[in-house]
Amino acid sequence: MKNNPIIWADYPDLDVIRVEDTYYMVSTTMHMMPGCVILRSYDLINWEVATHVYDILEDTPAQRLEGDQQIYSKGMWAASIRHHKGKFYVVFVANDTQKTYLYTASDINGPWTKQYIEGFYHDCSLLFDDDDRVYLIYGNANIHLTELKEDLSGPKPDGLSRMIVRERGEYFLGYEGAHLYKINGKYYAFFIHITPATKGRRTQACYVADSLEGEFTGGEVFNDDMGYFNAGIAQGGIVDTPDGDWYAMLFQDHGAVGRIPVIVPLHFEDDFPVFAKEAPTYIEIPSTRPGYEYKPLIGSDDFSYDTDEKGKVKLKDFWQWNHIPNDKLWSVTDKPGTYRIQSGKISPNLTFAQNTLTQRAMGPACEAVVTLDGSELQDGDYAGLGFLIGTYGLIALTKEAGQYYLVMIARDTDDKSIFENLVDTKPGEIYAKIPVKENKVTLKASANFINNTDECMFHYLDGESWTKLGITHHMVYKLDHFMGCRIGLFLFSTEKIGGTAEFSNFEYNVLH
């Protein structure tokens, strides 16, 4: 038995498939690179990273964090994953480029081939019908169905194109997050939805039709928050086990840690999906490979890497860059056992720092420890450890007029709504600043996400004991990043470029 939600970390907009004995699940990664993560499981409960579909989506100035350009809350959203006749298909839109992307591969590990689908299809889902015709459904409030050309390059001339579901009443969030299936000859379209009747809670809806030309009928099929702050569990894919049992993989908002996966059993009665009345607190599903040992979704790193035959380094799967990295300005091989980063731009704050190396924060609580060598920092540089979110908090070593200081910085807000935009050039507030004699320090960042506490604290190693620096900071999830907070190693320069920081002995612990 395992706790449900099954992963206490940010994996939103889920879609899931089974290929023989293996489950694959894709999730939104927005501005993180490599992007479009696909997880693998043999029991739908324990997961590991199988691959990332791309290293770089589009090499644009905004995706590179050039100047004050950025793609926070944009990038890839809500992918659909399918497997058809021996090939994997992943389709999604990117909200900065306003393009629809299709990636294909014969093996989950790639190589993945990129192409575009003409048009822009919000929260789209791909369906291969039994007659080999291919369709997308997509939209918000009004859901459209579009038949694609045989090569999937765009809408098929004179192909089927129609609206299949239309909002008719008052709503807060129109039908979106579409997932389309054909099961036992019928067509099933699943959506996320919020209406006044649900008092702001997200619910799951389903509409069913006998044919794609016919009428889709249905409505709400699941409404539960597991007693958690009216945070409805919804949006995601469904999948069957080899034994014929069905499950929905949905997500739930959990404050600053992000949107986290919840699994819900379902079955079919009279060809209509019937969800469990409530999401189970504990769940057990037989494994197709009993005893399999999964790679961790987060982890420590001693930064000992070798280059491949092309002279490149592949970091451990749990790392992602904030935006596209500048490969000329980082290395884990120049000085073995060290993540070495050099600044290449002037940045007003953490959100515009290039080459910030991140991992998902993990609940119920977590902490990260790292040793920082700042002997090559320049005046105005900040290097350290933090939680990357609009309302970020961090601990950093900085240098002013040749003197080193440790600082704790945070961005506060009195606006607890999700809509405030904090992606701007304003720096955070310095809550503590102490001079230090050494330019090599060991730092700790910790966070508590239990019951949306969403607090982070920062310590430094003072001799053999930890000393807290600054305040206990409250992080607030907002749509400016639209992503759960990330633990990040960073360097940014506020006066001149060229300074260097070296990180070693990174330790990550989940606290229960």
CA distance 176 to 123: 7
115 and 189, same domain (yes or no): yes
CA distance 389 to 257: 10
396 and 481, same domain (yes or no): yes
212 and 324, same domain (yes or no): no
Strand partners, 446: 367, 457
Q: Residue 195's pLDDT is what?
A: 83
Domain count, the chain: 2
Q: Is residue 348 a part of any domain in this protein?
A: yes
274 and 338, same domain (yes or no): no
Q: Are 175 and 141 in contact (CB under 8 A)?
A: yes
Q: Is residue 147 a part of any domain in this protein?
A: yes
Q: Is residue 299 a part of any domain in this protein?
A: no
Q: Residue 423's pLDDT is what?
A: 77
Q: ω into residue 111 within 30 of 0, thus cis?
A: yes
List the CATH number of the domain containing 51. 2.115.10.20
**What are 139's two structure tokens?**
């939209």
Q: Is residue 291 a part of any domain in this protein?
A: no
List the CATH number of the domain containing 450. 2.60.120.200
Q: Are 202 and 212 in contact (CB under 8 A)?
A: no
Segments forming the whole domain that contains residue 340 = 320-511
CA distance 56 to 68: 19
Could you tell me which residues come within 8 angstroms of residue 6 by beta carbon, excluding any fewer than 6 positions away?
44, 45, 46, 47, 261, 262, 263, 283
Q: Residue 140's pLDDT is what?
A: 95
88 and 181, same domain (yes or no): yes
Q: Residue 189's pLDDT is what?
A: 98
* Torsion sign across C-alpha atoms 295, 299, 304, 306: positive
Question: Given 236, 266, 283, which residue is the final one in a domain?
Answer: 283
340 and 456, same domain (yes or no): yes
* Torsion sign across C-alpha atoms 275, 281, 286, 292: positive
270 and 221, same domain (yes or no): yes
Q: Is residue 478 a part of any domain in this protein?
A: yes
Q: Residue 303's pLDDT is what?
A: 98
211 and 353, same domain (yes or no): no
166 and 104, same domain (yes or no): yes
CA distance 79 to 471: 39
Q: Residue 411's pLDDT is what?
A: 94
CA angle 460, 462, 466 (to 5 degrees): 55
**What are 307's two structure tokens?**
């280059």
* pLDDT tens digit at each of 512 positions of the chain: 789 999 999 999 999 999 999 999 999 999 999 999 999 999 999 999 999 999 999 999 999 999 999 999 999 999 999 999 999 999 999 999 999 999 999 999 999 999 999 999 999 999 999 999 999 999 999 999 999 999 999 999 999 999 999 998 888 889 999 999 999 999 999 999 998 877 789 999 999 999 999 999 999 999 999 999 999 999 999 999 999 999 999 999 999 999 999 999 999 999 999 999 999 999 999 999 999 999 999 999 999 999 988 889 999 999 999 999 999 999 999 999 999 999 999 999 999 999 999 999 999 999 999 999 999 999 999 999 999 999 999 999 999 999 999 999 999 887 767 767 777 778 899 999 999 999 999 999 999 999 999 999 999 999 999 999 999 999 999 999 999 999 999 999 999 999 999 999 999 999 98
Q: Is residue 307 a part of any domain in this protein?
A: no
* Torsion sign across C-alpha atoms 322, 229, 167, 263: positive
Q: Residue 425's pLDDT is what?
A: 76
Q: Residue 110's pLDDT is what?
A: 96
Rg over alpha carbons for the chain, rounded to the nearest Å, is 23
CA distance 73 to 50: 24
327 and 270, same domain (yes or no): no
Question: Phi/psi at 152 (nearest 5 deg)?
Answer: 60, 25
Q: Is residue 135 a part of any domain in this protein?
A: yes
Q: Are 75 and 30 in contact (CB under 8 A)?
A: yes
Q: Is residue 433 a part of any domain in this protein?
A: yes
3-state class of 221 per DSSP? Answer: strand
274 and 333, same domain (yes or no): no
272 and 396, same domain (yes or no): no
